[in-house]
Amino acid sequence: MRVNNDSLVEAFRHSAPYLKHHRGATTVVLLPGSVLASPQIDNIISDLALIQSLGMKLVLVFGAKEQIDEELAREKIETRFHKRIRITDDRTFAVIKKVCGIMSIDLTTKLSMGLINTPMQGSRLNVVSGNYVTARPLGVVDGIDYMHSGMVRRVDGENIRRELDNNSVVLIAPVGYSIAGETFCINSEQIAASVAVAIKANKLITYCSDEELIRDRNGDVIAEMFPSDAEKYLEQIDPETHNSTCRYLSAAIESSKEGVERCHLVSYEQNGALIQELFTRDGIGTQIVRESAETVCRATINDIPSLMELIRPLEEQGILVHRSREKLEMDIDHYVIIKRDGMVIASAAIYCYPEEKKAELACVAINPNYRGSNRGIVLINKIEELAREQGMEYLFVLTTRSAHFFLEKGFVSGSIEDLPKEKQDHYNYKRMSKIFFRKINY
């Protein structure tokens, strides 16, 4: 018997803005060696095929640290690092070239096999590789000769973009080629960041383990950071640590400062993490952003549908007074909203009574999924700022359910007689709203 799957329908509806937003977006995805060795690799390849089928342009940069370390141990070759960079002598480099060559072939095979027994079966990806990265040697640093370790000199962004426009997936190994005919081993995070900047990518996405996700003191994954926050976080990590978190943060900071809009870190151990990160409002990993996904702004007529969706449940519960669409359209200039990825998640309105120098804080609403933070305070402060600009001396609010919230925010109880005369005349005695005032600080 077939049944309706309401949760699936709702999830698909809520993903619609992201489907539109990501179509045509250029994304660089870094696949560290640990990802390629993970049991989740087939699911990850399927997810990459899915987002490409939705119109995203993909550049895949793969790392090989774990595979190289394993092969060096097998060959009994000592592994040496300085400042988180591998020192690559002749024997080490011979191993690196062998490992990267095998991995490039294996990964191309996986991407080309039609994704058998996956939801994307038949979605064969056209994969291209090339000498897109020009390198130069790192040379000698602190008396240490890095030998065959190099750094990015230039990225052939034009040819990469040409392949992307042909609907190809570009695959790049962690090596670069010099104008003198030499080959150098390059940090894959540096390549990914350099490629993202060169092709003006919209996103840089890196996979890591659950353990390497960026967390706060409570162990919760940090959803969003600015480059400056990321720099502070990186400074707290031991400089000799060689995990994905360090390398990701360095690449994300560089990319963000050079114009890449968002850099994401997601776990390869969580099935479907890439899909959840890209196509849900809160994601599941950490993103380094130049500008916050949330903005506080004045509402416009275009925000009315989303605003109505926010306040309707509260009206149905009797928490807010019903406002018709026509009323919202007439009063839209009074509203301040918080938007997250284009959706209104919180609102408040201001109505000033100049003769009494009092301003009403009205229609305070926060999406249930975004409560428990400081968004209420942000809205009150913004409304108070607007009231201050208009010379008001007091801010007041009428509420039936949120008395404790406003008392905690410095409001004190008032009476009907304290309201502006016009507001007294329209007071709804059936609702019996409680009245609170707060003096506006100048």
Q: Tokens in use for 302?
A: 């275009």
Considering the domain architecture, whether residues 321 and 229 belong to the same structural domain is answered as: no
Domain end among 244, 271, 292: 292
Within a domain: residue 250?
A: yes
Domain end among 240, 274, 292: 292
d(C-alpha 177, C-alpha 183), whole Å: 5
Considering the domain architecture, whether residues 161 and 217 belong to the same structural domain is answered as: yes
- CATH no. for residue 376? 3.40.630.30
3-state secondary structure of 256: helix
DSSP class of residue 285 equals S
Number of domains comprising the chain: 2
Domain end among 239, 258, 292: 292
Considering the domain architecture, whether residues 62 and 191 belong to the same structural domain is answered as: yes
272-278 long-range Cβ contacts below 8 angstroms, 24+ apart? 272/43, 272/47, 273/207, 274/44, 274/47, 274/48, 274/51, 274/205, 275/47, 275/50, 275/51, 277/205, 278/18, 278/22, 278/51
Within a domain: residue 1?
A: no
Q: Within 10 A of 347 (CB to CB), how many other CB atoms are there?
A: 24
Give me the tens of pLDDT residue by residue for the chain, a chain 442 residues long.
Answer: 566 666 766 767 667 767 777 788 899 999 998 888 888 888 898 889 888 888 889 999 999 988 999 999 998 998 888 877 888 899 999 999 999 999 999 888 888 765 555 554 555 678 889 899 999 998 888 888 989 989 999 999 999 999 999 999 999 999 999 888 889 999 899 999 999 999 999 999 999 888 888 888 888 888 888 888 888 888 887 666 656 677 788 888 888 888 888 899 999 988 888 888 888 767 788 888 876 667 888 999 999 998 999 999 988 888 888 899 999 999 999 999 998 767 788 999 999 999 999 999 999 999 887 776 678 888 999 999 999 999 999 999 999 988 888 998 889 999 999 999 999 998 998 889 999 999 998 7
- Which residues, including other chains, have CB under 8 Å from residue 90's CB and lie 6 or more apart? 147, 148
Considering the domain architecture, whether residues 275 and 379 belong to the same structural domain is answered as: no
Considering the domain architecture, whether residues 11 and 103 belong to the same structural domain is answered as: yes
- Beta strand 175-177 with 183-185: parallel, antiparallel or unpaired? antiparallel
Q: Tokens in use for 132?
A: 């897109």
- CATH no. for residue 270? 3.40.1160.10
Considering the domain architecture, whether residues 36 and 130 belong to the same structural domain is answered as: yes
Within a domain: residue 305?
A: yes
pTM of the shown model: 0.69
d(C-alpha 254, C-alpha 193), whole Å: 7
Considering the domain architecture, whether residues 302 and 224 belong to the same structural domain is answered as: no
The residue whose two tokens read 């590789």 is: 129
Considering the domain architecture, whether residues 288 and 300 belong to the same structural domain is answered as: no
Considering the domain architecture, whether residues 82 and 209 belong to the same structural domain is answered as: yes
The residue whose two tokens read 């400056």 is: 228
- Which residues, including other chains, have CB under 8 Å from residue 400's CB and lie 6 or more apart? 318, 319, 431, 432, 433, 434
Residues 274-328 have pLDDT tens digits of: 888 888 767 788 888 876 667 888 999 999 998 999 999 988 888 888 899 999 9
Within a domain: residue 45?
A: yes
d(C-alpha 128, C-alpha 433), whole Å: 66
Residues 162-191 have pLDDT tens digits of: 999 999 999 999 999 988 888 999 989 999
Considering the domain architecture, whether residues 258 and 235 belong to the same structural domain is answered as: yes
Residue 58 lies in domain? 6-292
